[in-house]
Amino acid sequence: MEILVCVRRVPDTSENEIELNSAGNDIERDELVYSINEWDNYAVEEALQIVSRVGGKVTVVTVGDDEDEEILRRQMAMGATHGVLLSDHLFAGSDGRGIAAILKAFIQKGNYELILTGVQAEDGAAQVGGMLAAMLDYPFASLVNSIEILDGKTLRITREIEGGNKELNEIDLPCVLSIQTGINEPRYVGMRGIRQVASVPIPTFGAPDLGVNPEIVGPLAAKIRRVDYFLPAAGRGAEMLYGKPEEIADKVVELVRTKGGLS
Amino acid sequence: MEIQSPAQASYWIVSGQSLFLVMHVLGLTCFAYIMYRRVVPLLRAQPDFRFDQPWIRLRRVAKYWLGQWRHPRYKGAGLLHILIFIGFIVLAGRAFSLLMIGASSGFAMPGFSGTLGHFYDIVRDYAATVVFICMIVAAVRRIVFKPARYAVPARLGRQRGQDAIFLLALIAILMLADSLFEGSKAAVQTQQGQASEFLAVFSLPWICEQALASFSLPLLSKLGLGAYFIHNLTFYFLLCYRPFGIQFHVETSLFSVYFAKLEREVLKPVRWGVHDEQLDQLKSIGVKTFEDFTWKHMLDFYSCADCGRCSDQCPSNAAGRPLSPRFLTTKARDYAFQHYPVFGKANNSSPLIGAIYSEDEIWSCTTCGACEQECPLLIEYIDKIVDLRRGLIDSGNVPQSLQKPLKALESRGNPYGKMEKKRSAWTKINGFQQSCPIKLLDGKQGADALYFVDSITSYDDRIQAIGHATARILTSVGESFGILGPAEKDSGHEVRRFGEEILFCALRAHNVEAIKASGVQRIVTSDPHAYNALKHDYKDIPPVEHISQLLARALNEGTLKLNHAETSDKVYTYHDPCYLGRHNQVYDDPRDVLDAIPGLKRVEMKRSRDRSFCCGGGGLMLFYEPKEEQRMGVLRVKMAAEAGANVIVTACPFCMVNIEDAIKVAGMEAKMAAIDLTELVDQHIVRQAPGGMEAQRELTEV
């Protein structure tokens, strides 16, 4: 099976102290460390597991610049067959729809049966997967947390729905799925693996190569603009529970139950 | 009538000589063939460089093999083994000459005909007796007392007691047959009024002679020849049976000890003969299949006597984690015997993880070294665990709990994912820099000594107090020192021991450069893990000391003076951190420092010094979520309480984390506390004011 996984490089939330810049319209990016978006990492792992069961190839693709090559190599070290960078100065500043349009152009040049994205990016808006499917006129399922290949044409998938329940679906190929974390346990990528793919050439495609109309990408085409970044105002404080440990435990259980956390 | 020599006698229709010649040839051929098959996997194994330093190695053979140095650590079993071992050594000559007379009746050991021969005969009579008695005692131990450490958990198959009893019985038969042969010969001589061979009084042959005194001559003759036959049969059966189980150590232990690792603290390279820079080019690294082990490690599998001492000391095993060093070895031996059978084709290798080992088992080890300290045969465990982890890392099988800290170490140089620039923030917390300014060795300032802080002391809220105490002490004793601050990265001690060699190499390269750039002449650290890494894993850097060593030196030189202990109701016990004690033999310095505090009451835990019990492991082990029945730290805290202590003194930041947690988990906050050696010294130090006057202690307790 030919699988394409759309990935993205994001500031690593576990290894950064995210601060707003002085203008207040972005985060301070000087000393950030980046890594692959966590959801995308699960998607790549899932693609690799599917390929190890039924055969095929996994391609990882990202829209970005030279610095984003880093995550493509990391995913290739993980086992992806190819990494592709979609890079053009025209692409910078695209909104989700613009990104989806670029990806669509790339996908139509290939022969991918299954396209995976993460449910969302850590700094994103969870919109590219759905829009990409619509542009391709492919079926789409979001929040997927298991995939079973039934035959060459159909997948059986489960989706996570509110309250921790699961829903079982069948979906026709080709399709786009957005992958939820927890679908698998992504493998570790060691430094050795990354070094081993350090000199593998990564093909780069720009707008002309893809046939992307410059008018539908970039900041001018973006219909969503970020206006502000802010920290939510602090709430009125926490509710303190007092009493013996057992009493506190009982109160906690009761609170969680009334809020619907326990059934 | 003289008792016939076995060579001249006839057994049924064949002459004794032919019979025993055939037996010799057959027995030795079988043995040679089995040994050849046992060597086959070793020839397919990875290289291991163990051929240097022959004199040191021979000295170790004299100490650990011939001298049975570690056996008395277990008094009962150890004494028994020493007796059996001496018996076997003594009886080796006897066995040879006894076998030879089957082929040539007049055989006598060269040089053993005169007084020496008589003396030897007496000694070996007693040796056989002692071995025989030992077999009975050992069997009684196995059958009646059943020491717990021999038990095999149900999930790992059947109990091995029967195998042991069978082996004991064979050896007992060997001793008895020899003695019967001797005794009957002497009885014949006595009955015929000849000068009988002198049999050592109360020895087994002597008892046999006494018992057989009234037997008829033909019966004695038959008995003697029969005993001789049984002796030879048992001898060759044993010889060919040994390479099938724990008894194989009789043959292999000498080689295991000779080739044992000389520098125990230094980890095995990923692959012998392959430089760090070439590791990227290897197809696979670490141990994934049996053939990825080195030949010495395979030899270790053969040599294990299944005595259970390693697992008896292993804290992972005690805490109920799925790791027991004993079974790590015996499972590999079983695997070797199964996949490299004596008859039939050697099966090609399959992955070990999933077949005989589980991932949890391999991650469970804290590399504390208790097993290696105990093994009488110097079998190595840490290198094998690390090699297996290298294999797991290489194939991406790393628990999610470890992936984040490893990734953070790669991008930020610490497992917490904290910013590099915050690495020296601990020096400025709560106005610390006013009371104790610390130099940042960033090229503008220099110092004689570098305080290598490492990640946990730099970033952990609680452990920063150890950094503060260390800095104050260093200042007090007049040390010119500084820190690397943001230029320091994690020492990588656990990164390496968790199998991520390439990441370790990167961290080391960075630190070595930073240390060299700082221009210091010495390094001091309050973290035994960093100490061990800098001392053994790093090369070409200034000498490194643990703070306890520096303190002991300062006491001797008189630059450190300590006030009287504040309260008398505190009873202290010192917990040896694995990487200070067992791995670096720093046992006395911290104790000397404690004892230099006048009025301080100190008791020893039963498990101390080289038998110290790991607190739960440091570095990345703090992130790992083991499957265990209880925490090692809880067991340790209970040991301290048992010793009558109410304060545990450690000299390691990770011990502090684990023990403080354990005190809470065990609900013992009211009766137990933990304190670092540096914190205790900091509380008691007599501070010299700049003018040399004794200054008032003004620092708050930590």
- Residues B584, B524 share a domain: no
Q: What is the mean pLDDT of chain A?
A: 91
Asked if A187 lies within 8 A of B412 by C-beta distance, the reply is no
Q: What is the pLDDT confidence band of residue B698, given thresholds at 50, 70 and 90?
A: very low
- Residues B438, B391 share a domain: no
Residues B125, A94: Cα–Cα separation, whole Å: 95
Residue B696 has pLDDT above 60, yes or no: no
- Residues B193, B160 share a domain: yes
By mean pLDDT, which of A180-184, B109-113, B299-303 is the weakest?
B109-113
Domain count, chain A: 1
A33 touches chain B (CB under 8 A): yes
Q: Domain boundary residue among B557, B585, B609?
A: B557
Nearest chain A Cα to B392, which residue? A188
Q: How does pLDDT run across B257-313, given as a tens digit for each residue?
A: 999 999 988 999 999 999 988 998 899 999 999 999 999 999 999 999 999 999 999
Mean pLDDT in residue range B580-605:
96
Q: What is the pLDDT confidence band of residue B694, given thresholds at 50, 70 and 90?
A: very low
- Residues B392, B299 share a domain: yes
B403 touches chain A (CB under 8 A): yes
According to the per-residue pLDDT averaged within each range, which of A157-161, B274-278, B611-615 is highest? B611-615
Q: How does pLDDT run across B534-564, given as a tens digit for each residue?
A: 999 999 999 999 999 999 999 999 999 999 9
Residue A226 inside a domain? The answer is: no
Residue B2's pLDDT is 54
Chain A residues with CB-CB distance to B396 below 8 A: 78, 187-190, 193
Residues B328, B161: Cα–Cα separation, whole Å: 19
Pairwise pLDDT comparison (B689 vs B212), residue with the higher score: B212
Residue B5's pLDDT is 82
Q: What is the pLDDT confidence band of residue B566, given thresholds at 50, 70 and 90?
A: confident
Q: What is the 3-state secondary structure (H, E, C) of A189-226?
A: CCHHHHHHCCCCCCCEECHHHHCCCHHHCCCCCCCCCC
Domain count, chain B: 4
- Residues B437, B494 share a domain: yes
Q: What is the pLDDT confidence band of residue B688, given thresholds at 50, 70 and 90?
A: low
Q: What is the mean pLDDT of chain B?
A: 92
Residue B119 inside a domain? The answer is: yes
- Residues B367, B469 share a domain: no
Helix, strand, or coil (residue B88):
helix
Residue A263's pLDDT is 59
Chain A residues with CB-CB distance to B408 below 8 A: 14-15
Residues B98, B479: Cα–Cα separation, whole Å: 71
DSSP B262: S
- B394, B408, B503 member nearest A15 (Cβ): B408
| Integer angstrom CA distances of residue B572 from B591, B604, B644, B646 | 11, 9, 9, 6
Residue B350 has pLDDT above 90, yes or no: no
Residue B345's pLDDT is 86
B400 touches chain A (CB under 8 A): yes
B277 touches chain A (CB under 8 A): no
- Residues B313, B434 share a domain: no
Residue B473 inside a domain? The answer is: yes
Residue B691's pLDDT is 40
Residue A191 inside a domain? The answer is: yes
- Count of A–B CB contacts within 8 Å? 60
Residues B636, B606: Cα–Cα separation, whole Å: 11
Residue B693's pLDDT is 37
Pairwise pLDDT comparison (A18 vs A196), residue with the higher score: A196
- pTM above 0.90? yes
> Domain residues for A95?
2-216
Q: How does pLDDT run across A35-81, given as a tens digit for each residue?
A: 999 999 999 999 999 999 999 999 999 999 999 999 999 999 999 99
- Residues B621, B551 share a domain: no
By mean pLDDT, which of B339-353, B462-476, B529-543 is the weakest?
B339-353
Distance from the Cα of residue B351 to its chain's centroid: 26
Nearest chain B Cα to A195, which residue? B280
Residue A10 inside a domain? The answer is: yes
Q: How does pLDDT run across A119-145, given as a tens digit for each residue?
A: 999 888 899 999 999 999 999 999 999
Which amino acid would we find at residue B653?
P
Residue B701 has pLDDT above 50, yes or no: no
Residue B582 has pLDDT above 80, yes or no: yes
- Residues B360, B236 share a domain: no
Asked if A192 lies within 8 A of B285 by C-beta distance, the reply is yes
Residue B596 inside a domain? The answer is: yes
> Domain residues for B616?
571-684
Residue A91 inside a domain? The answer is: yes
Q: Domain boundary residue among B400, B430, B452?
A: B400
Are B666 and B536 spatial neighbours (Cβ–Cβ below 8 Å)? no
CA–CA–CA angle A251, A255, A259 (5° rounding) = 170
- A15, A187, A195 member nearest B280 (Cβ): A195
By mean pLDDT, which of A99-108, A216-225, B494-503, B660-669 is the weakest?
A216-225
Q: How does pLDDT run across B626-643, given as a tens digit for each residue?
A: 999 999 999 999 999 999
- Residues B575, B551 share a domain: no
Q: How does pLDDT run across B424-433, given as a tens digit for each residue?
A: 999 999 899 9
Residue B699 has pLDDT above 60, yes or no: no
Closest CA to B451 of B442, B435, B440, B443: B440
Asked if B393 lies within 8 A of A191 by C-beta distance, the reply is no
Asked if A191 lies within 8 A of B394 by C-beta distance, the reply is no
- Residues B382, B418 share a domain: no
CATH number of the domain residue A10 falls in = 3.40.50.620
By mean pLDDT, which of A87-101, B180-194, B417-431 is the weakest?
B180-194
> What is the per-residue burial (b if ≥16 Cβ within 10 Å, else e) of B23-49?
bbeebeeebeebbebbeebbeebbebe
- Residues B534, B575 share a domain: no
B404 touches chain A (CB under 8 A): yes
How high is the ipTM of this complex? 0.88
A199 touches chain B (CB under 8 A): no
Asked if A192 lies within 8 A of B398 by C-beta distance, the reply is no
